[in-house]
């Protein structure tokens, strides 16, 4: 859904790295039986996996009505320098 990049934090705290993230705005992934979709960032998946599993098993309505669609969640990966926000939702 959205990507951010905090250059000031990267400059101040992160060691130089050549390649940080392959995610791009507009990418779409489908998880079957709460398994990691091909191409999904491993780190992002670790954040999303518990939520995806709950939705895959019929769960939802997180935090008593947090989302307009109770079978969805808006979550971000755990990269504090380059957070990527994902909308996860059940599909037919």
- Spans of all domains in the chain: 2-89
* Model confidence pLDDT, tens digit, residues 28-63: 999 998 999 999 999 999 999 999 999 999 999 999
Long-range pairs for 54-59 at CB < 8 Å and ≥24 separation?
55/88, 55/89, 55/90, 56/31, 56/90
Map tokens 């059940």 to a residue.
Answer: 90
Query: How many Cα atoms sit within 13 Å of 54 on the Cβ side?
Result: 15
| Residues 7-23 pLDDT 10s | 999 999 999 998 888 89
Give the per-residue pLDDT at 83.
Answer: 95
pTM, rounded to two decimals: 0.87
């Amino acid at each position: 859904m959205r990507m951010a990049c905090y250059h000031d934090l990267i400059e101040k705290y992160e060691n130089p790295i050549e390649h940080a993230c392959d995610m791009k705005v507009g990418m779409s992934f489908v998880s079957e039986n709460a398994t990691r979709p091909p191409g999904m960032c491993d780190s992002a998946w670790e954040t999303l996996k518990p939520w995806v599993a709950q939705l895959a098993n019929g769960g939802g309505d997180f935090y008593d009505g947090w989302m307009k669609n109770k079978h969805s969640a808006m979550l971000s990966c755990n990269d504090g320098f380059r957070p990527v926000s994902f909308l996860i939702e059940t599909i037919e």
